[in-house]
């Protein structure tokens, strides 16, 4: 009997060890870029309640003309980080009643979820003087990748109502206590504020995100082990040409002040850089874009690589893979 119990105990420990090893088995990613049938940029990655990871990206229309023709947002999702589903177009500029009459200029978006509703945030000019009339619109749906309806009103930027020069790239971060925060920026400025529970209005005036170094655009906020991380693109150039990198800063508060930490993604071959950071099934990932398919900075393609933290919480420089 004693030998039987010892054998049973050993078998149980072996099974537990096998299950544990199975649970933490690392994912082997597929090749980059992971979307190749169309040109995509500015990936915003989120994991929703259905257990899938979704990427909301902007769309570089081919042939391009600068970045003004960008339009027709698509959503992509996966359940294994290798095989991706294109859910098709969810929104285009013709659906934006307050937008510029010539359309286009549908740049880097984001998405958030609360109480059964998905909120899709997108920048778009309201007038022909496009860089002075940027607004942030909202589309809502009961589904993560279809049936979005554009709201008739854009977000009222309290404290900066008429100061919208180059203000793009919305990011909405929902904290553990369900409080949502809004961030956006451009032209060297990054601002943020609490949002109301309706996810469509700011609850307070926007404030500057203090402590960032060489901020250009592409604000993104995530949280790990109680620390807030604000990542963004800088103004770095090489040989007289734009070669933006992704930097990050940390804080004990979602609205700062922030402590600059350094670069986590070196130039990708594009003049621009824009990324997001997300955890999925116990591993962290860095999403970004490059131009490895087209060789042109306005025909970009979204990529993903694993992201690792040092013991002190700082982020290791991402190894860009092909």
Q: How far apart are alpha carbons 241 and 76 in whole angstroms?
A: 31
DSSP count for the chain of H helices, then E strands? 1, 21
Residue positions annotated with a catalytic role = 42, 217
Q: Is residue 149 a contact partner of residue 139, using CB atoms and an 8 Å limit?
A: yes
The CB-based long-range contact list for 205-208 (8 Å cut-off, 24+ gap) reads 205/158, 205/159, 205/160, 206/157, 206/158, 206/159, 206/160, 207/159, 207/255
Chain centre to alpha carbon of residue 110? 6
Pair of tokens at residue 189: 């400025």
Per-residue tokens: 223: 């949280």
Pairing of strands 237-238, 259-265: unpaired
């Amino acid at each position: 009997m004693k030998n039987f119990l010892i054998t049973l105990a050993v078998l149980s420990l072996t099974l537990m060890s096998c299950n544990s090893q199975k649970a933490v088995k690392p994912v082997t990613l597929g090749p980059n870029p992971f979307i190749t049938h169309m040109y995509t940029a500015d990936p915003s990655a989120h994991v929703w309640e259905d257990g899938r990871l979704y990427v909301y990206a902007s769309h570089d229309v081919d042939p391009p003309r600068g970045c003004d023709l960008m339009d027709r947002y698509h959503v992509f999702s996966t359940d294994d980080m290798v095989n991706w589903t294109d859910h098709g177009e969810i929104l285009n500029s013709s659906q934006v009643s307050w937008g510029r009459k010539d359309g286009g200029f549908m740049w880097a978006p984001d998405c958030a979820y609360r109480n059964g509703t998905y909120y899709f945030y997108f920048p778009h000019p309201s007038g022909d003087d496009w860089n002075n009339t940027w607004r942030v619109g909202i589309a809502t749906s009961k589904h993560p990748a279809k049936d979005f309806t554009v709201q008739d009103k854009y977000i009222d930027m309290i404290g900066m109502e008429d100061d919208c020069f180059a203000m793009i790239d919305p990011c909405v971060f929902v904290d553990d206590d369900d409080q949502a925060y809004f961030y956006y920026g451009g032209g060297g400025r990054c601002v943020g504020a609490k949002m109301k529970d309706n996810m469509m209005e700011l609850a307070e005036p926007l404030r500057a995100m203090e402590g960032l170094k060489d901020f250009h655009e592409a604000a993104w906020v995530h949280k790990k082990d109680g620390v807030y991380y604000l990542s963004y693109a800088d103004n770095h150039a090489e040989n007289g040409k734009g070669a933006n990198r992704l930097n990050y800063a940390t804080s004990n508060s979602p609205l700062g002040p922030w402590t600059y930490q350094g670069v986590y993604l070196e130039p990708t071959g594009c003049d621009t850089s824009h990324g997001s950071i997300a955890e999925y099934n116990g591993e962290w990932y860095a999403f970004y874009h490059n131009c490895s398919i087209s060789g042109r900075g306005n025909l970009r393609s979204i990529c993903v690589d694993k992201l690792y933290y040092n013991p002190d919480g700082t982020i290791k420089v991402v190894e860009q893979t092909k």
